[in-house]
Structure 1
Amino acid sequence: MARPIIGIISNHHVIHETYEVQATGLINISAVADVAEGVPMMIPSEPGSVRVSDLLEHCAGFVFTGGRANVHPEEYGEDPTEAHGDFDRNRDAITLPLIRACVERGQPILGICRGFQEVNVAMGGSLYPEIRDLPGRDNHRMPPEGTLEEKFALRHDVTFSENGVFHQLMGRQSVPTNTLHGQGIKHPGPRVVVDGHAPDGTAEAIYIDGAPGFTLSVQWHPEWNAKCDPVSRPLFEAFGAACRDWADGGRARPVLRSA
């Protein structure tokens, strides 16, 4: 069987202040190719160039990547403020309807960082503009200085619900993760199950209740060192297996269910 095509949502960048591009990190591509065992296909976040219906037809599953721009707060009924940071309305226009369509169809999705937040917003949830400003919360942002290894270093544990989806998948109830985000879940969407938390209570792992297919999403960055990391590898392997099932006749593989 041919490897499934897995769409990787890309982000808008400007090179040398003049040349606009859509790009994704090589670590996203490697995680999809080497661990999920799929054919990585970059999806430009340009609604004038791609249609959700075409993406659903050509890809077996989708990785909703991290990105510096945030989901626009109007998407969850709030006004933008300076604390909300930069936005990418073109990406919102692609990802939010694509997530809802995949959930309904049972087509696999994996949300990472901004992608994790997109899944919550697409399913009716809201976001905090800045986690570190909340009483009792830690600073989850990327360290401003250091090498990539230092920026993506393991910084806190995530604890999963006992016998929940992530606990079953990882074989452990608590795992160490990196953390490189500013925003986070405020109110989970009606079907969004928060299955893992950081020590300060920040939501870190979710899935969609009652969805027929794979809908796991995480706030950290499992694409970093995905081939060797004992937490990242099972996540991408399970996602890849779900994508192969979908490519093999549109068979939805549900996430593990709580015991």
Structure 2
Amino acid sequence: MADSDLSMILPRVLIVSRRTVRKNKFVDFVGEYHLDLIVNYGAVPVIVPRVSGLHMLLESFEPIHGVLLCEGEDIDPSLYDAELAGFSAEELEEIRNVHASDTAIDREKDTIELRLAKLCLERNIPYLGICRGSQVLNVACGGTLYQDVEKELSKKIPEEQRVVHMDYDNYDGHRHVVKVVEDTPLHQWFKDSLEENKMEIMVNSYHHQGVKKLAQRFVPMAFAPDGLIEGFYDPDTYNPEEGKFIMGLQFHPERMRHQDSDDFDYPGCPAAYKEFAKAVIAYEKKLNSSERVQKAPKLNQELETKRNVIVRSFSIAKNMYSSGGGKISGQESELEVGAEFLQASTALSLQQENRLKQMGATVRNASAYRERLKVNEERERLARAIMGKMSISKLSDLMSFYHMMGKICSEAIEGKLQDRVNEEIEF
């Protein structure tokens, strides 16, 4: 199969873009690391642009086999915390100044991503949330967020436990430690890199918000020293081989790479994308399988009426052949099978319905057709009797006359057809 055909058969992963200003106009983008990993593991990334009103058009992106949410500004606090965490106006202004690139709320992006997250939860579509995407998932399930980790969390704990979650001067190089929870997918992915009895890895992150109250359905997979949850998943919907995957990671495994290299810090870094893609592929196969094996729809009143008409036609046909009127050898058994088929509560395909309508119409018109046959047979008998009494000379003149009339008819038909062609060309 040609490479150009692959997009027609590979499962689709929706990724919502982030909007920014470049050259005095808005542009949409998605980080290439996410796209590369999705493609490398056998799926096709479908970028959903952040466009006003798009949240009403998400069904246009069907079929959806997976959703990856990964970048963007702060989620609108009113979606999870009506009290705005008790911040004063001065504190809110300070947060906006320190995190100017992230605190500009994008309500359209919030709406698009929350609808996608809830769609995944309703249909069990595989979902992977990275950074903001993990926060969207938690909010979609009723969880809450710290609006600013430093002000709400870090200042309340001993200094040795405080964590720098964002370094604006060193996005890619910044690391902080997290402790991995045993018997979780994260533990499985990084187990070969964990020191004995330590269960710690160094992760890349840049965020000033994070999970405050984890939604009830989720289980933590990692914690930062300040207690912030750095990863979580739904154990009841985690089985990549069966197309089940609902997970959020606050840190960025896709960016945990050696300086000036694409080599990862740990072999387990790309595992989230690998297992997510595995679930997406399995979900796509399961979805296609269920679509191929559909239950026969129940007939509505209109279809039921049509079916009864066709059944009656077969009944007439069966009686006709059974009575010996025009009986054709070997056909009666086929009619019986057809009648039994039609008596079942099965919706007919359009082709079946049209074919059976034709057969029914033929049967219903059979008596008139047979009358016409009798008339034609009588006319032929009379013609033979008359011509049998004609001389050879008269028969020859009659044959010449009909030959000439046939030629004139052919010429007239050809002329009319040519006139029609000319009219169509002019039109």
- Same fold per TM (> 0.5)? yes
Question: 2:138 touches 2:215 (CA, 8 Å); kept in 1?
Answer: yes
Runs (4+) of structure 1 exceeding 6 A deviation are none
Q: Post-superposition shift, 1:178? A: 0.5
Q: Does 2:179 match 1:159?
A: yes
Partners of 1:114 and 1:179 in 2: CA distance: 11
Query: Which of residues 87, 91, 96 in structure 1 aligns to 2:114?
Result: 96
- SS in structure 1 at match of 2:236: coil
Query: Which of residues 220, 225, 250 in structure 2 aligns to 1:194?
Result: 220
With normalisation by structure 2, the TM-score equals 0.53
Q: Post-superposition shift, 1:118? A: 0.6
Q: Does 2:39 match 1:14?
A: no
Q: Post-superposition shift, 1:209? A: 4.7
Q: Does 2:101 match 1:75?
A: no
- SS in structure 2 at match of 1:250: helix
Deviation string 1:163-197 (CA, Å, 9 cap, x unpaired) is 12321233354322101111011111121222211
With normalisation by structure 1, the TM-score equals 0.84
Q: Post-superposition shift, 1:234? A: 1.1
What letter corresponds to residue 63 of structure 2 in structure 1? H
The alignment-based identity, stated in percent, is: 29
Larger RCO of the pair (alpha carbons < 8 Å, separation 6+):
1
Partners of 1:117 and 1:38 in 2: CA distance: 24
1:18-57 superposed matches below 5 A: 19-34=25-40, 36-46=41-51, 48-49=53-54, 51-55=57-61, 57=62
Deviation string 1:113-142 (CA, Å, 9 cap, x unpaired) is 11111111111011111112222332211x
Q: Does 2:96 match 1:64?
A: no
Partners of 1:183 and 1:144 in 2: CA distance: 15
Task: Give aligned pairs, total.
Answer: 242
Partners of 1:53 and 1:223 in 2: CA distance: 29
| Cα distance change, pair 47–124 in 1 and its aligned pair in 2 (3 A) | farther
Query: Which of residues 107, 111, 114 in structure 1 aligns to 2:132?
Result: 114
Q: Post-superposition shift, 1:95? A: 0.9
Partners of 1:47 and 1:209 in 2: CA distance: 35
User: How large is the RMSD of aligned CA atoms in angstroms?
Assistant: 2.3
Residue 182 of structure 1 corresponds to 208
Deviation string 1:214-252 (CA, Å, 9 cap, x unpaired) is 01210011222677422321111101100111111328x
Partners of 1:225 and 1:31 in 2: CA distance: 13
Partners of 2:47 and 2:38 in 1: CA distance: 11
Partners of 1:78 and 1:208 in 2: CA distance: 26
Structure ranking higher in strand proportion: 1
Partners of 1:101 and 1:59 in 2: CA distance: 10
Residue 221 of structure 1 corresponds to 252
Question: 2:79 touches 2:139 (CA, 8 Å); kept in 1?
Answer: yes
Query: Which of residues 258, 282, 285 in structure 2 aligns to 1:245?
Result: 282
- SS in structure 2 at match of 1:66: coil
| Cα distance change, pair 193–53 in 1 and its aligned pair in 2 (3 A) | farther
Structure ranking higher in helix proportion: 2
Bigger-Rg structure (1/2): 2
Question: 2:163 touches 2:224 (CA, 8 Å); kept in 1?
Answer: no
Segments of 5+ residues of structure 1 without an aligned counterpart are 252-259
Question: 1:66 touches 1:112 (CA, 8 Å); kept in 2?
Answer: yes
